[in-house]
A and B are shown apart, each in its own frame.
Chain A
Amino acid sequence: MSAWNFIKHFPCKNLSRHIFKDRVKPLCFFTSYTPQSSFSISASLSTSYSSSSSSCFTDESFAAPYLSVRIHCPKHVLDSFSEALLCFGASSVAVDEDIEEEDEDAASGSSLASKEICIESIFPVHEEVKMCISQAANSIGLKEIPKFKVEMGDEQDWITKNQDLFQPVEIAERLWIVPEWTSPPVPEAVNIILNPGFAFGTGEHPTTKLCLLLLQSLIKGGEAFLDYGTGSGILAIAALKFGAASSAGIDIDPLAIKSASHNAALNNIPLEKLELHLAPSENSSSGREIPLQKEQFDVIIANILLNPVIELADHILSFAKPGATIGISGILSEQLPNVIAHYSPFVEDISVATIGDWVCLSGTKKGDFIDN
Chain B
Amino acid sequence: MVQNNTIPKQKRRPNIFPLSPKPSKNRGSSLSLSSRSPTMAAAKEILTRRPVAATIRLTVPAGGARPAPPVGPALGQYRLNLMAFCKDFNARTQKYKPDTPMAVTITAFKDNSFEFTVKSPTVSWYIKKAAGVDKGSTRPGHLTVTTLSVRHVYEIAKVKQTDPFCQYMPLESICKSIIGTANSMGIKIVHDLE
Instruction: Give every chain A residue within 8 A of B144 (Cβ-Cβ).
Output: none
Q: Give the number of residues in A that approach B within 8 Å (Cβ atoms).
A: 68
- Interface hit among A2-10, A89-97, A262-270, A288-296: A89-97
Closest to B16 in A: A352
A316 within 8 A of B: no
A19 contacts partner chain B, Cβ-Cβ < 8 Å = no
- Cβ A158 vs Cβ B76 within 8 A: yes
Contact across chains for B36 and A336 when beta carbons are under 8 A apart: no
9-residue interface stretch from A27-35, A48-56, A202-210: A202-210
In the complex, which residues of chain A have a beta carbon less than 8 angstroms from the beta carbon of B29?
Answer: 169, 204
Whether A96 and B26, one on each chain, are in contact in the complex, defined by CB atoms closer than 8 angstroms, is no
Q: Which residue of B lies closest to A83 (CB)?
A: B122
- Does A351 count as interface, using CB distance less than 8 angstroms? yes
B59 touches A94 (CB 8 A): no
Partner of B84, one of A94, A139, A204: A204
Tell me whether A66 and B103 are in contact in the complex, defined as CB-CB below 8 angstroms, given that A95-B55, A96-B54, A336-B17 are known contacts: no
Query: Number of contacting residues on B, CB 8 A?
Result: 63
Interface SS majority for chain A? mixed
Interface residue B132 (Cβ < 8 Å from any Cβ of A): no
A86-B103, A158-B73, A167-B30 known; A92-B67 Cβ under 8 A? no
Alpha-carbon distance A210/B4, docked complex (angstroms): 11
Given contacts A165-B31, A330-B87, contact A356 B23 (CB under 8 A): yes
In the complex, what residues of B have CB within 8 A of residue A120's CB? Answer: 77
Q: B49 within 8 Å of A by Cβ? A: no
The answer to whether A354 and B70 touch (CB under 8 A), given A330-B91, A337-B12, A340-B12, is: no
C-alpha spacing A306/B67, complex, angstroms: 19
Residues on B lying within 8 angstroms of A by beta carbon are: 1-7, 9, 12-14, 17, 19-20, 23, 26, 29-31, 36, 51-59, 63, 66-79, 81-84, 86-87, 90-92, 94, 98, 103, 112, 122, 124-125, 140, 184-185
